[in-house]
Amino acid sequence: MKINEKEPYENGANPKKEHLGKYTTDNNGEFMTTDQGLKINDDQNSLKAGDRGPTLLEDFILREKITHFDHERIPERVVHARGSGAHGVFELYKPMGKYTKAKFLNDTSIKTPVFARFSTVAGFRGSTDLPRDIRGFAVKFYTQEGNYDLVGNNTPVFFIQDAIKFPDLVHAVKPEPHNEIPQAASAHDTFWDFISLMPEAMHNIMWLMSDRAIPRSLRMMEGFGIHTFRFINDEGQSHFVKFHWKPKQGVLSLAWDEAQRLSGKDTDFHRRDLWEAIDQGHFPEWELGVQIVPEEDEHKYAFDLLDPTKIIPEEMVPVEIIGKMTLNRNPDNFFAETEQVAFHPGHLVPGIDFTNDPLLQGRLFSYTDTQITRLGGPNFHEIPINKSIPEVTNNQRDGMHRMQINKGKVSYNPNSMGGGCPFQAMIAEGGFHSYGERIDSVKIRNRSKSFFDHFSQCTLFYNSMSDHEKRHIQNAFSFELGKVKLVPIRQRMVNMLLEIDESLANAVADNLGLVPKKLSQPITDIIPADAKLEDYASFSNELPISDAPSLSMATKLPTDIKARRIALLTADGVNDEAFTKVKLQLCDRDAMVAVIAPKHGFVTTESGDQYQVDESLLTAASVMFDAVYVAGGDSIKTLSANADALHFVAEAFKHCKPIAADRNGTEFLQKALPEIKFPADGVTADGNLEQFVKNIQQHRFWERECGAGVPA
């Protein structure tokens, strides 16, 4: 198979084939093999019972590849190493018995304990909180029927369709192996080389290049189960279901320049923000929503429900809100809880089951395998943070770090010496029973053709963005690909963008000094050596909607300023009334107000009262706050003569944040922003506190990015 693009080796000539400049089947006798030396015919698809059937345990190539991958790093997680967690409760709004028999989704009188962990994907455990990256969003429900884990991300889709490609994806995005650079970043050659040859990844790439990948806070991002699961009711009826977490704090982002600066100012920004919000009683909340599709509608849509690179647009199947999670307690010990918590999509309760999503099927093997390595053996379920509420009674014994002390002789089943205990539970007694899906297929390494539309939902996503979100996506692609050294990789990517949107491709290509080219043949995944190209051709299905407002963050703004971080910029001589009124009224709205002054200690008001300073201008920066208020009085003279104070406000303006000042603070704003004509968007210079609050709810005034005079 030829791609018709020249791509020289990174370090010059190929030592075995000097003239190699194209992808070709002429490989000088080098074939991919298993660890046992067996030549591999298909490294793209796991072995399934039919092209839409479940993955088979006998797939020794899949098991060998993922087993090796799962054991590559110890003791930190291979991915999602950098994380933060908190305890809380889940409260059900309404019984869901029509769809599922899961007890915690049918009893509105109970509060189900939960532990949630949020994480970045690519970075090591000591990396920054602020990279452009997907965030993990995992929740462990400690139910009366056992632990249920909903393990997802802050994007509703994933990069790949089949779990056999997961090691390749992570190898590509991790630091390059020859020099372990760059850390926690996707802006490098190996990642984009892989992506440019895997068009199935483009939908998640669009989410990664959007503002979703740089959330303002872990409290302010959505969560998704990604896969299509099943609900099973008491009658044994099945419905397909997708899970959504909707934050009640709004869905908000950082500016990219702001995130980069924050990485230097406070690498723990997200971790600290979550901890402090809970510590101060501003408990973050998410509502749990479900999209439910009847079994008979499985093939109703222009996309495949089993394809983890596709969403069901909310405009087509609305999200039904069924409950709320509140995180209300920080961990007592980070290692014992946040670091040792072990999630697994295979931790189920009766009433919830799997589908044949090939990515999900591989995860069901991988998670147990990697926990065994990371936590020292098969008894990780006995660590307190992982223990279920029901007592564990089975015939499993021994192994590393065994904590449960089993008495008696019997460790097998069936038995008579132990009175037959423990007994199997009937379905009516809560015994788990897998859904009886009929399977009648041949064993095959293949992918359903219904998985081959790689671009329609990318276009839907881009069309659904606001103007500033589109601009940010263009800039993100330009930044990331600008870090790629090999021009052929950049060219392949802008060519791919042309399949999504012409204006997007042209904007990115212009920034890179390239011209996007229409593909001379359909883009294909790397395919088995003896496969027919036409069988793997990409195609686009026409979706019944051209845009989906639910995909835009601009439609998900908060309705209050609860737990928003406000900098109250002041100095000695501040007006008493201005200072106390602003602080009290913002705190009454549950904002997190910090007094920022030129130095630590206390500020003295005009009347001689003193107030504690929370941060000095030497330790604080505007990037740590959502908005800035400049309190008036004689303090304005001090602030106007302080370069750090002027920079504080100018930087906040650059990052499009709400700014306010008392009437006599206008001269300070004009000195900090000499090129800006007032009134300006999001700037309140007359002490109007109500307008300032409304501006904070809007979060950012992104149109400033296009204006003249914005400080560098």
Q: Residue 263, class by beta-carbon neighbours within 10 Å (0-12 exposed, 13-18 middle, 19+ buried)?
A: middle
Cis-peptide into 422, omega within 30 deg: yes
314 within 8 A of 547, measured Cβ to Cβ: no
568 within 8 A of 585, measured Cβ to Cβ: no
639 within 8 A of 606, measured Cβ to Cβ: no
Q: How many CB atoms lie within 10 A of CB 587?
A: 12
Cis-peptide into 516, omega within 30 deg: no
CA angle 9, 14, 17 (to 5 degrees): 130
Give strand pairing partners of 143: 146
The encoded tokens of residue 174 equal 């991790």
The encoded tokens of residue 618 equal 């030497």
Catalytic residue among 45, 153, 204, 379, which?
153
Catalytic residue among 80, 203, 347, 472, which?
80
651 within 8 A of 712, measured Cβ to Cβ: no
Question: Which residue bears the tokens 């109970």?
Answer: 110
Strand (E) positions, 233-346? Answer: 238-247, 285-294, 320-329
Q: How many CB atoms lie within 10 A of CB 32?
A: 12
Q: How many CB atoms lie within 10 A of CB 468?
A: 19
The encoded tokens of residue 492 equal 């392949």
Query: For the chain, how many helices (H) and strands (E)?
Result: 16, 20
Tell me, what amino acid is at 49? A
The reply to whether 454 belongs to the active site is no
CA distances from 263 to 260, 272, 434 (A): 5, 13, 46
Grouping H, G, I as helix, E, B as strand and the rest as coil, residue 211 is helix
468 within 8 A of 168, measured Cβ to Cβ: no
* Distance from the first to the final alpha carbon of the chain: 48
Main-chain phi, psi angles of 336, to 5 degrees: -65, -30
The reply to whether 600 belongs to the active site is no
Catalytic residue list: 80, 153
